[in-house]
Chains A and B, each alone.
Chain A
Amino acid sequence: MTSGINMLCFTGCYAIALALEALGLWKRPPGRRLATVAAMLIGMVAHTWYLADRAGQAPWAPLASQHDWCLAAAWTLSLVYLGFVLYYPRASSGLFLLPVVLGLIAAARWSSREPIATFQAPRVWGQLHGVFLMLGAVAVLVGFVAGLMYLVQSHWLKHKRPIGERLRLPSLEWLERINGRSLAGATILIAMGFVTGVLTHLAQRDGEFRWSDPVVLSLSGMLSWLVAAECFRLAYPAARRGRKVAYLTLAGFVFLLITLSAFMRDGAAHGAPRTKAKAAGGAPKASAIAAAGGAPRTGGPP
């Protein structure tokens, strides 16, 4: 990178923050919390710089490739973690959230940096599609982490485990609220992402929409699950509370994993017209883009 900032910079900072959170399980030296926040802030500055650099080099970034999409999701989740730290300074939420952030960065490391075919469509629809799905995925991940913390806290309380000096979690009431809001937010965002995705494809020159696209299929599955879960939650009051809502968000995470796997495997061809995708031999990446109309778009109307 021209700025000298690479993925190692912010990955290292987040790893240090996670190590400091883990250190709190054994020892809580003075300044540990401050050092954790400092490491996160430095990491986020480097992360922002890296994303801005990517956007400068490839105008279709920051959400047009699998690599950029994963990094943008990791960045948003890091921001959520800082929010958790501010709201619940004594809780060890980093132990649950930061591994997910690092997981997304690891996924970014091994994923394609080539633009997804969808982003050859009108830029605004493509960007909206990417942003909604990214935020929806982050909402599912936040719900998953909150659900996990809920189940751990609930288990401890049921077993009369006294308050821990080393590992503290937010209250069940707060986690339940986060769970419910994440689920509702994820449903709306994923639905909007899906609709903008359809519109993106329709706006392309050949305008053919492929339901057999693995990413579309898995995303449809996840959206169906989220809508069903949300309806269940609205219709059945017990599903809005306690462990049930936590289980719903955990299931949402499983659907997200399936969608992400499809996205990682077939994402580069995602949205490419049927004939062009076939011409690219099922592993289109850069070649698919060339086949779909030359160099990636640099923004502006088609």
Chain B
Amino acid sequence: MNLLMVGCNHRAAGVDIRQQLAFGAQQTSDALQRWRARFADTELALLSTCNRVELYAVGAAPDAAPQPDELVDAMLSYHGLPARRMEGRLVSLAQRDAVLHLFRVAASLDSMVVGEPQILSQVKEAYQRAVESGSAGPGLHELFQAAMRAARRVHNETRLHRHRVSIPSVAIADFATRVFERFDDKRVLLIGAGEMAEETLRYLKDAGARRIRVVNRSWDRAAALAEAWGGAAAPWEELWEELAAADLVIGAASVQQPLVTAAEFQQVVARKRQQRPLFVLDLAAPRNFDADVGEQLGVYLYSLDDLAHACERNRAARAAELPSAEKIVLAETDAFMAAAHHRLAGPVITGLRRNLEEPKRAELERLFRRLPQLDQRARGEIELFADRLVNKLLHPPMESLRDASQEGPPHGLLDALRRLFRLED
């Protein structure tokens, strides 16, 4: 098997380069079909995500796969990009390195945010698209199945994916779910706007939040946000009433002084809430909520610093899991390569067995002709003896081939066996 990978990723190329080289879903299918005509004997799969564009090629024989330059040329010419623009930005890996790379990618060890879960589904999608385009065969099938197995092992045997590292995901999954059992009946209030606040809203929507209210100094902005998130806008003047009615608040307004002080909260909001739990995510800097608001009964207040601290701790926890994850990926890579090398010995093993089976059959026939008085049971015992002898004779060369496959392609041993047993004939 000849295995190659060419492409670019977030380590070697900036986002501008990656964007130029990126393939959409339709483009991927189209490109694979086009390249299939150009590289007829090669299986191809294209993985295109925000952080990487990688083309995997598998040829059944060493001379069957195209050269890396040809693959690069195919990718660049699809987009009409000149080769000089990508100089030094593209990565090319072959054989074991390519396998190890794909396994690390699938297990999210090569991701920008290590452990992020989306990459495995993107790898599956890339393989599925290759299958649908007719550019995948048994080589790619084994490669991608092994990659997914490695990723699953990393997922199941380490806690790499369990530690969330983005502020919105930590806020919702690590804190809000410990206060609330469900979100579909909770009233979410967004004060102001901001990228992180919207990202948090996305997580809340995924968790089931339906009742969203938006309060913003600009009514138009509030209305637009409310429409985008399927909620309702409320005038800025109703902030206190909204606070009293809310279960979960995201503070993202741009302010110089805290919008809500502990005294105001106590006087205006606390009385109306009757200690009903309030979960506050203060994602603004400077803060929207005075830190003392968190001291009120039933109020759970988290600032950016609190959440960043939790993220940092989770990052450290992920880093602690990395050695175990890398070990699993290495073991899976070794197993895959050994199996691939062992498959090279397939024709030799078949030839060896045939070379022993034919004389065995001939000798058995001769013996049974000379001893016609043998009954069925005696014949069966003699056949069994002959089978066991053949298997025992084959066992040492098979073991040697298996051992040699662990080191690399056992070409020398295969040549020796071919010559010793005249397998060419």
Contact = CB atoms under 8 A, between A and B. Distances in A.
A98 to B, nearest CB: 22
A158 B291 CA distance: 12
A237 interface: yes
Contacts of B292: none
Nearest to B180: A173
B294 A158 contact: yes
A171 B310 contact: no
B77 interface: no
Interface in A155-171: 156-158, 160, 162-163, 165, 169-171
A242 B174 contact: no
Instruction: Give the size category of A's interface with B.
Output: 20 to 34
Given A160-B310, A162-B313, A173-B277, A242 B181 contact: no
Contact of A157 (B179, B309, B313, B314): B179
Tell me the interface secondary structure of chain B in the complex.
Answer: helix
Tell me the interface secondary structure of chain A in the complex.
Answer: helix
B178 A157 contact: yes
B298 A173 contact: no
Interface string A139-177: 000000000000001001110101101000111111001
B286 to A, nearest CB: 19
Interface residues of B, number: 27
A33 to B, nearest CB: 14
B245 to A, nearest CB: 14
Interface string B308-324: 01100110010000000
A228 B317 CA distance: 48
A244 interface: yes
B313 A160 contact: no
Contact of A163 (B175, B181, B300): B175
B274 interface: yes
Contacts of A172: 178-180, 277
B275 A171 contact: no
Contacts of B310: 160, 162
B15 interface: no
Given A158-B294, A165-B159, A242 B175 contact: no
A243 interface: yes
A243 B300 CA distance: 13
Contacts of B388: none
A254 interface: no
Contacts of B181: 170-171, 173-174, 177
Contacts of A35: none
A160 B302 contact: yes
A195 interface: no
Contacts of B177: 171
A238 interface: yes
B34 interface: no
A170 B180 CA distance: 9
A171 B274 contact: no
B276 interface: yes
B365 interface: no
Question: Chain B CB within 10 Å — which of A170, A173, A243 has the most?
Answer: A173
Contacts of A276: none
Contacts of A156: 178
Interface in B317-371: 317
B158 to A, nearest CB: 12
A177 B182 CA distance: 13
Question: Chain A CB within 10 Å — which of B162, B178, B274, B314 has the most?
Answer: B178
Interface string A88-125: 00000000000000000000000000000000000000
Nearest to A170: B181
A297 interface: no
B297 interface: yes
Contact of B174 (A163, A174, A241): A163
Nearest to A169: B178
Nearest to B305: A160
Given A158-B294, A242-B297, A243-B297, A163 B178 contact: yes
Nearest to B295: A158
Contact of B276 (A157, A170, A241): A241
Contacts of A173: 179-182, 277
B70 to A, nearest CB: 47
Nearest to B182: A173
A238 B178 contact: no
Contacts of B159: 165
Contacts of B162: 165
Contacts of B180: 171-173
9 contacts: A157-B175, A160-B302, A160-B306, A171-B178, A173-B181, A237-B274, A238-B274, A241-B275, A242-B275
Given A162-B313, A241-B277, 16 more contacts: A158-B294, A162-B170, A162-B174, A162-B314, A163-B173, A163-B174, A163-B178, A165-B162, A171-B178, A172-B178, A172-B180, A172-B277, A173-B179, A237-B274, A241-B274, A244-B275
Interface of B: 159, 162, 170, 173-175, 177-182, 274-277, 294, 297-298, 300, 302, 306, 309-310, 313-314, 317
Pairs A-B, 7 closest by C-beta atoms: A173-B181, A163-B174, A238-B275, A237-B274, A162-B310, A238-B274, A174-B181
